[in-house]
Each structure stands twice: as C-alpha cells, then as structure tokens.
Amino acid sequence: MHNLFYPKRIAVIGVSERQDNMGHLIMENIVKFNFAGDVFPVGPRGGTVCGRKILTAVDQLPAGIDVAVIITPAVTVPDIIDQCGQKKIPWAIVETGGFGELSTTGKELGDELLSRARKGKIRVVGPNGLGIISMDPSLVTPFVPMRTEALKRGSVAVLAQSGAVMYALVNQLSSNNIGISKAVSLGNKLDLDEIDYLTYFIDDDKTQIIVLYLEGIKRGHQLLELAKRTTKPIIIHKANRYPLTSRIAMFHTQALATDDGVVDAAFNEAGIIRAHTYREVVDWVKIMTLPPMRGNNLVIISRSGGVAITAADFAVESSFTLFSLSETVLSKVQEKSGPKVIKRTNPLDLGDFFNFDFFAEVTEDVLKEGADGVFFQHGAATDEEVAGTMPLGETFHRLSNEYQKPIALCLLSDDRNTAHIKQTLEFPLFADPHDAIRALAMSRDRYQRIQEREVDDVIPQLPFDRHTIQETLHRARQEKRPLFLAEALEIVQAAGIPCARWGVCRDLKEALACANDVGYPTVLKINCPSVLHKTDIGAVAYDIHDQHSLKEAFEKLKQQAQARGFDNGIMVQELISHGVEMILGGRVDESFGPVGMLGFGGSYTEIFGDTVLRMLPLTEKKVEAILHELRGYPLLIGDRGLTPFDIEQLTEALLRLSQLMITFEEIRGIDVNPLFVLRQGEGAVAVDVRLITSS
C-alpha cells in the first residue's frame, strides 16, 4: 500500500480541456498542490490541461505508472481496468459512481470491475468516492476544488465511506489548525475496506491518530483485533444507527445497519472512541493530541464566575471530582487579587485578574498539587487579550507535556478573534465548556479502559456436562428442526445454570405424577420450539394450585398444541415466584462475533430497557463492570436497607452462558428469561429459555 500513498508516477484517466470536466478538476488539484512525482492525463479528445499534453489512450502511458485515477462513465471502467492491467499498473482509484449504490445493474458492473481488477492484479480504491490525499508527496486527487490553505500537513489520517464527509472532516480539522497525514474516500469498498487501510495506518509513522466515518461494518472482528493491538487512538463516527436510516444507506454505499448497541459494546471492548457528530470527531481529535486524563481529579479555572459554575455542573455530570486545592494555592491567589470580593475555591474564579503570566503560574501550581487535568476558560475581547493568548497557549502546551496532564483550553470570544487564534495557535481550543469537559471525560474513560485491558484477567473454565449439550444439539441437527423448550432447558442446565424442576408429560396421568414431584403451585407449558414466545401464543398456564386446575389447564394446552401441530408433550414446571427477574442473553453478531447481555428481565425487558451488552468471552472483572452499569444495580446489592440478592450466583450464571456460547459455535442466540435471582446465598433459577442454532 506504500505505493498508493507515495507514488512516483500517476495517470488521471477521463481528462478533457473542459473546465467543468472532473478529470480536469483532479488535474488542477494535483498541480496546485505540487505533487512531487510525474502525472499523465488521459482523455479521448486529447489537448492540453495544466500545461500537460493529454494522451488519448491508456496504452500511450509510459511504463512504471504506480496509480491510475479513473473518472469515466461507469460502463467504461471495466475495460479501462483491463487496459491498466496490460500496462501493469498496480493501483486504481475509481472515483466514478453508478455501481452497486445505484442499481442491480450497477452492482453487476461493479462485480465485473472487480473481476477484471483481480485478473490484472490491480487493487481498487472505491468506486464512488473522492479518491485519496497524501500530504508527504502532496498528492490530492478529489474532483472537488481543494484550497491549499485548507490542507495542513499533520498526523491525523481520515477514512470516510462518504466522499463529502471526508471533504468536510478534512476542512473542519484544518479550520482548527489540525493537520492530516492522509485521507481516503472509501466509497463502496468494492475491494479495499477500512481493515486494509487501518492495517497500513497503524504501522504508518506519519499517522498518530486515525479517524473513520463508516455507514456499515462487515469485518467487525478484525476491526476489534486491530484496535486492540495499537496504542494509536482510533475515532469512529458510525452512522446508519437506526433501521430507518439503513434503507437510505443501502442506496448510498451499500451499507447494512448493525445493531447499534453491539457497536457500542464492541468499540468499548477494543478501546475505540465513538463520535456521534462531526463536531465530536474534531473535539476527540483535539483531546487526543494532549496527554491522557489519568484520574478523576479536575480543576476548573475560569475568567468568568458564571462559566465556572456551568463547567462545574458539566464536571459533576461527567463524574469528575473537583480537586481540593491547598490553602497555599488559594491564599496565593487571594493575596494577588484586587478587591477581595471572590472567595477562592475550585472552581477557581480569576475574573478579577488580567495577568496572563499569573494564569500560567496558577495552572502550573494545580498540576503540581495533584490535579489529573485542568479546564481553563479564557476570553479574548481586545487586541491586547488576543496577543496575550498566543504565549499563554504555548505555555499551556509546554506545561501539558511537562506534567503529562491535559489542559482543556476553552476560548469564548467573537468569531473573528476565535478564527484567528485557532489558525495561529499550535494548541487545541474548545468552543464550549460542555465540549471541553466531555472531551476530558472521554480521555479519562479511554485511559481507564486501556489500563483495565492490560491487567491480567483470566477467562474462567467452569465444569460443563459437554456430552449432554453435544447430544442435544446433534439430535436437533440430525432431525433438521429447532430445539424444543425442554431441550433448551437441558442445555442450560448442563452448562451449570440451575433451572426450575420440570418434566415433559404425554398424558394427564404423567402430568399429575410430575406435579406431585415438583410440587404445587406449578406451571404448564407446551413443549414447543424454544424460539417461540410462549406467552404470545397462549402456550403457558400459570398458578396451577391443585389437581383440578391442573386437569383443566392440561386439556386446554393439549388442544392448543394439537391445533398448532406441536406433538412433543406438555411441560410441568416448578413455579418460581420470588426473587428478581433477570435476563441473560447472547447472540452471534454477523460482523463482530459473540456478544452477551445482562438486564432486568421478565415481561418488562423491553419496557425498562435496563440491559448491558459486552463482547464474549466474559471474565469476572467484565461481569463486575456489567453489573455496575445496570441502573437497577442498587436494587441487586440491597441499597437503602433492602435485602441483597445473590450477586455471586448471577455472576456465575453469566460466566457459564458466556462459556456455552464460546464453546458451542453452532449456538447463534440464547435468551435465559427470566432467570430468578434469589436472596443472597439462595442462588439463581432459570425458568425459560429461547435458543437458536445455526442448523
């Protein structure tokens, strides 16, 4: 891939002398930015462009072309790829649209393009994109006009599935005085996708921060593995979050929606930073250029009392601790102040000061004392203040690097002064206190996740009845049918998760005997395929207290089963009615792999939505973190005088479900719902299971 970003010779195919010709615009960008290599325009009508002769055919190109940039009608591209293969050109950047994002015919055309590229040993960027930018050789291939002042050489790589988003991000980073190393418009990802480019950028010494805009993720597992093996921050703006938008994206870049909760869980697992807006992308890049926030101790310094209070609110919302400043620092500030009208504390209001050297001095004092990071609000209204901001920013840059702690500088000024300072100062500026505090919180959270990942955390190996599980799965697979409820319960019980006592009965006599064994009250269920919601189809009878009610319910369920074609008996099950109802779940995401879920369950699972997702396998530390994320966690531990529930057995049940999913890959999805978690020391009991296999 080095030759793609550092070519010595390139060709632009689809060029004419017309000013509005896209190939012409690409040539103008390449020449304007002083590409360090040779460039050869190609177009059927010939002529000249940017002082260069336009060749009329690909076969006129000299040997040794590294990259061909193609911007011709879609129907012509496969033949041009053939011609490039004959010239032994290894890379093609296809900026033309009209392939799979447009129609079925376009998809077939794209398939043909890829087939020809494979035959000619050509790798393809795109199609349907803006190409690439590589700042070292000053290679700029988009067909939209680019301004030289809008591209600053730096260390941020941008990968975007949308050409317009790549263009927007590059410009927004530039307007914040943040330079880029490279940028790629992924387009349809017909050949190369984000994994290919990430693999390169992770090892690219010119790139320190990687930004992606994605609408669909196909190779999620590889994405996570790459993110885990690098210390470079990876920031992803994942769009196409909801089912409604997936249809739009399908016609845009052939993206398919991925469960957004799984995306969050996967990104957290790998330490990937997620952004939800373009503004967040830029803010996250800004904070990643600073040392990490290693703890919760935050000091707020402000030139406005009102902003200080607002920032303190945001800090509390982000779970920061307002670091207690020593009397030495507070007295120093008090003594140097003017009228004694402000009581010094954290937040530290310096509204009555106009001394830039003192601002820097106080900031260094709090960093020395033990603050993990500083939020500094600054305003620049006069020319004198604007001039003083430059050395202050430079000092903050030095202090941040010296103490290896972040200083989030928030500038509240008019647009003219703000734009001037942002374009001049080599230190990140935040436009709003809320943005700055959230950026510090993101830095802290990412640092903590990395630290937790580096701590040895053993995946437990718990005893299983593997034989029973294998035999049960094999039987259903051989008969080419889904698992019945009783079989799903057998698998869960064989995995070591306790289940309510049950028996499957063919007639009333067996049912009466079974009820005597499990005890009244009891529950009757049709032993139907476990994937069905039994309550929804009337396959359950609750609160059977005696033989009379059992006989009546048994006959009704038997008739219901016969009407639906179920002939696998009626289950008589022990009634569990105490404890807290939880749901344990797992499924295999097509992109990211196995993911587990824990939440408050039963009939209210969807209503309350108090669930947490994690990638599998789980460890005890991960389960502990999951429990703490539940909003209802205080209920489980017996907060405010309540009796606590059996957290230890809940933890073990979740670990066992994780091991079950990882060990038996044909299990594609499982819900244990509800799992009744009993009082502390009494255990946990599963009463219903839905289980889906790949067979």
The answer to whether 113 and 82 are in contact (CB under 8 A) is no
CA dist 637 → 8, 620, 631, 633 (Å): 65, 17, 12, 7
pLDDT at 249: 47
- Single pTM value for the model: 0.90
**Which CATH superfamily does the domain covering 295-454 fall into?**
Succinyl-CoA synthetase domains (3.40.50.261)
Strand order in the sheet with 132-134: 139-140, 132-134, 180-185, 153-160, 209-214, 234-238, 273-275
Backbone angles phi, psi at 413, to 5 degrees: -150, -175
Q: For domain 503-573, is the CATH number 3.30.1490.20?
A: yes
The answer to whether 291 and 253 are in contact (CB under 8 A) is no
Determine the average pLDDT of the residues in 545-563: 94
Tell which CATH architecture fits domain 147-289. 3-Layer(aba) Sandwich (3.40)
pLDDT at 561: 92
pLDDT at 604: 58
Lowest mean pLDDT among 24-28, 255-259, 659-663: 255-259
- pLDDT band, very low/low/confident/very high, at 389 (cuts 50, 70, 90): confident
CA dist 227 → 162, 206, 215, 535 (Å): 22, 18, 18, 43
pLDDT exceeds cutoff 50 at 254: no
Give Cβ neighbours of residue 658 (< 8 Å, ≥ 6 apart): 586, 596, 616, 617, 618
User: Over the stretch 476-497, which tens digit does the pLDDT of each residue have?
Assistant: 999 999 999 999 999 999 999 9
pLDDT exceeds cutoff 70 at 257: no
Q: How far apart are CA 97 and CA 162, in angstroms?
A: 12
Mode of pairing for the β-strands spanning 667-677 and 580-589: antiparallel
Q: How far apart are CA 559 and CA 564, in angstroms?
A: 9
User: Over the stretch 278-299, which tens digit does the pLDDT of each residue have?
Assistant: 999 999 999 999 999 999 999 9
Please identify which residue in the block is written with the tokens 């972040």. Answer: 406
Please identify which residue in the block is written with the tokens 């049709």. Answer: 526
- Residue 578: CB atoms within 10 Å: 10
Q: Give me the DSSP letters along 563-595.
A: HHT--S-EEEEE---SSEEEEEEEEEETTTEEE
Tell which CATH architecture fits domain 1-129. 3-Layer(aba) Sandwich (3.40)
> Would you give the distance in Å from CA 84 to the centre of its chain?
38
pLDDT at 469: 97
pLDDT at 385: 80
The answer to whether 350 and 333 are in contact (CB under 8 A) is yes
User: Over the stretch 114-159, which tens digit does the pLDDT of each residue have?
Assistant: 999 999 999 999 999 999 999 999 999 999 999 888 889 999 999 9
Nearest by Cα to 689 from 481, 530, 455, 545: 530
Name the 3-class secondary structure at 114: helix
Name the 3-class secondary structure at 41: strand
User: Over the stretch 17-71, which tens digit does the pLDDT of each residue have?
Assistant: 999 999 999 999 999 999 999 999 999 999 999 999 999 999 999 999 999 999 9
Averaged pLDDT of the chain:
91
pLDDT at 255: 36
Determine the average pLDDT of the residues in 309-319: 95
User: Over the stretch 194-218, which tens digit does the pLDDT of each residue have?
Assistant: 999 999 999 999 999 999 999 989 8
Rg (CA), the chain: 32
pLDDT exceeds cutoff 60 at 251: no
Domain ranges of the chain: 1-129, 147-289, 295-454, 503-573, 580-693
Q: For domain 580-693, is the CATH number 3.90.850.10?
A: no
Q: How far apart are CA 182 and CA 201, in angstroms?
A: 9
Name the 3-class secondary structure at 402: helix
Q: Do 580-693 and 503-573 fall under one CATH topology? A: no
pLDDT at 605: 65
pLDDT at 667: 95
Please identify which residue in the block is written with the tokens 């295999």. Answer: 588
pLDDT exceeds cutoff 70 at 419: yes
Buried b (16+ CB within 10 A) or exposed e, 116-127: bbeebebbbbbb
Buried b (16+ CB within 10 A) or exposed e, 96-108: bbbbbbbeeebbe
